[in-house]
Structure 1
Amino acid sequence: MTPTQRRHFLRAAAAAMTASPWLGQAADSATTAPATNEGMQNLPAHWTGKEQIGMLLYPGMTALDFVGPQHMFSSLMGAQVHHIAKTMAPVTSDANLTLLPTTTLTRAPRDLDILFVPGGGDGTLAAMQDAAVLAFLADRGGRAKWVTSVCTGSLILGAAGLLKGYRATSHWATRGVLSDAGAIESEGRVVRDRNRITGAGVSAGLDLGLTLVGLLRDQSYAETVQLLAEYAPEPPYNAGSPHTASPAVRAMTEAMFPQFNRKARAALIARKEGRRRS
């Protein structure tokens, strides 16, 4: 991409990605230069799409599971990102961050390019047993071009019957539960199997979202989005993986999950038995 193309990309992106204050400032700066269409015709046609993206919201979800991918999805020029919940009431995350739905399960687009599910703790367990949520996911997921999740969101996809026979991942401490959903437990920051893309724990949502940006546009577009986000992590500690964390830290973290895993397995088994009886 030439410098001229990059400038025009930012200008076009600023118009389409109004959710980003950084891009809004870039657009303001661009208006100081003479208006011109020079180079706009050189923008690849596939850089602007018409994707319908559905992101599930539910009480008790982990906010970063949702916000990281949402930042990336909202950078797709021409795409429409829907925040979908059971009602239009504000949804409070497990850390008391409140998010606003833009539509409901019943009003959401029937055909989605991306269906996305975030994870959480007790809220995830509740969603795994919510008949309306699971029916929505099974319906939309059966037609979506990409069925995606981050962290324990994959367990909700599993409860909806969407991961049977697919390789998938989750938060490292819950990954073993995926087999109860008929999924093939796989280790990886982002795991892709056909049209299923699942991310590992919490912060992996940024990687998952950026992966989809590259798939739906191209590498240059995705790299520009990455640079705009200045996404080049340099964490102050090297404990972000069970392979690098100290044994004491890993043991303390693992001790937080046995009860969650037992309840998640029970929910998946009950769901499986319910489908068998029906």
Structure 2
Amino acid sequence: MADTPVAGAGPLTFVALLFPRVTQLDLTGPVQFLSRLPGATVHLAWHDVAPVPTDSGFSIVPTVSFDEAPQADVLLVPGGDGAFELMDDQAALDFVRRQAEGASYVTSVCTGAFVLGAAGLLDGVRATTHWASRAMLADLGAIPTEGRTVRDGRVITGGGVTSGIDFALTVAAELYGDDEARRVQLQMEYAPEPPFDAGSPTRPEADQDRVRRMLETNRERRGPAVARAAARLREAGRP
């Protein structure tokens, strides 16, 4: 892992996409950790700077519009049900593509990977997302890969929701070194001890009937948006 920030001695700019029905922890979990890094500046970008409703019943205010956003050193796309609606938003996808061109790292948490895929940024790239939707990444040219955090070149993807915190520490270590990442982990008291062992399909307390239902439901609900995005990519000659 890198011993110094990717941008050298200067500050690092994180630009995170914000959109309606984002899973707020996909966004706020990593941002809470990344914002504690020395010299880090975090921008939340959307079409405009009006409050954006999350999936949790409250709104988050963007800090910049797409037109005002600075070039990111690290681009972050969180997930949520809104990510699949975002896949039909060409202005948002164009923003992601433009930012990705100049970013040192292109990253996502949970189903934000589908936005990267819809923008044509995951062709032949190993990537992860929430387990219940991971297989569908292949429809967008990605190589679905199991893992809390998966890196392929400059693309770093995190798994479902709470994986975003492990993802953030991985990014922190990549940019600032392991010691700085450990400092942030200690400061944030990130030492999870969940009362149940049912946090993924492979864990012993996971209900396998529920796993099957979630896989089927996600394919039914999210598959059409993925199929539309895949068709547009083929028409554009991307993957």
Per the TM superposition, whether the score is higher than 0.5 is: yes
Q: 1:96 aligns with which of 48, 57, 70?
A: 57
Q: Deviations for 1:187-216, whole angstroms, at most 9, x for unmatched residues? A: 100000000000000001101111111111
Greater mean deviation of Cα atoms: 79-88 or 243-252: 243-252
The residue that corresponds to 1:51 in the other structure is 12
Distance 1:99 1:224, change over 3 A: same
Check if 1:234 corresponds to 2:193: yes
Q: Which runs of 5+ in 1 are unaligned?
A: 1-43
> Does the 8 Å CA contact 1:56/1:84 hold for their aligned counterparts?
yes
The 2-side partners of 1:117 and 1:174 are apart by 16
Distance 1:45 1:214, change over 3 A: closer
Q: 1:168 aligns with which of 127, 139, 159?
A: 127
Matches within 5 A, 1:58-77: 58-77=19-38
> Does the 8 Å CA contact 1:112/1:140 hold for their aligned counterparts?
yes
Distance 1:228 1:253, change over 3 A: same
> Does the 8 Å CA contact 1:118/1:153 hold for their aligned counterparts?
yes
The residue that corresponds to 2:104 in the other structure is 145
Check if 1:119 corresponds to 2:100: no
Q: Which runs of 5+ in 2 are unaligned?
A: none
Check if 1:130 corresponds to 2:130: no
Normalising by structure 1, we get a TM-score of: 0.79
Q: CA deviation at 1:75?
A: 0.9
The 2-side partners of 1:204 and 1:114 are apart by 18
The residue that corresponds to 1:246 in the other structure is 207
The residue that corresponds to 2:231 in the other structure is 270
The 2-side partners of 1:50 and 1:96 are apart by 33
Distance 1:169 1:45, change over 3 A: closer
The 2-side partners of 1:242 and 1:184 are apart by 20
Check if 1:198 corresponds to 2:157: yes
Question: For the aligned residues, what is the CA RMSD?
Answer: 1.8
Q: CA deviation at 1:150?
A: 0.6
Q: CA deviation at 1:255?
A: 4.1
Larger RCO: 1 or 2 (CA < 8 Å, sep 6+):
2
* Larger Rg belongs to: 1
Check if 1:108 corresponds to 2:30: no
The 1-side partners of 2:9 and 2:165 are apart by 21
The 2-side partners of 1:126 and 1:144 are apart by 24
> Does the 8 Å CA contact 2:111/2:130 hold for their aligned counterparts?
yes
Greater mean deviation of Cα atoms: 268-277 or 181-190: 268-277
> Does the 8 Å CA contact 1:49/1:79 hold for their aligned counterparts?
no
Q: CA deviation at 1:238?
A: 0.7
Normalising by structure 2, we get a TM-score of: 0.92
> Does the 8 Å CA contact 2:51/2:59 hold for their aligned counterparts?
yes
The 2-side partners of 1:219 and 1:62 are apart by 28
> Does the 8 Å CA contact 1:117/1:153 hold for their aligned counterparts?
yes
Secondary structure of 1:139 counterpart: helix
> Does the 8 Å CA contact 2:78/2:108 hold for their aligned counterparts?
yes
The 1-side partners of 2:58 and 2:193 are apart by 25
**Percent of aligned positions that are identical:** 43
Secondary structure of 2:199 counterpart: coil
Q: Deviations for 1:88-114, whole angstroms, at most 9, x for unmatched residues? A: 1001111222111000111111x3110
The residue that corresponds to 1:177 in the other structure is 136
Q: 1:154 aligns with which of 88, 113, 121?
A: 113
Q: Deviations for 1:148-207, whole angstroms, at most 9, x for unmatched residues? A: 001100000000011111100111011111111111111100000000000000001101
The 2-side partners of 1:102 and 1:197 are apart by 24
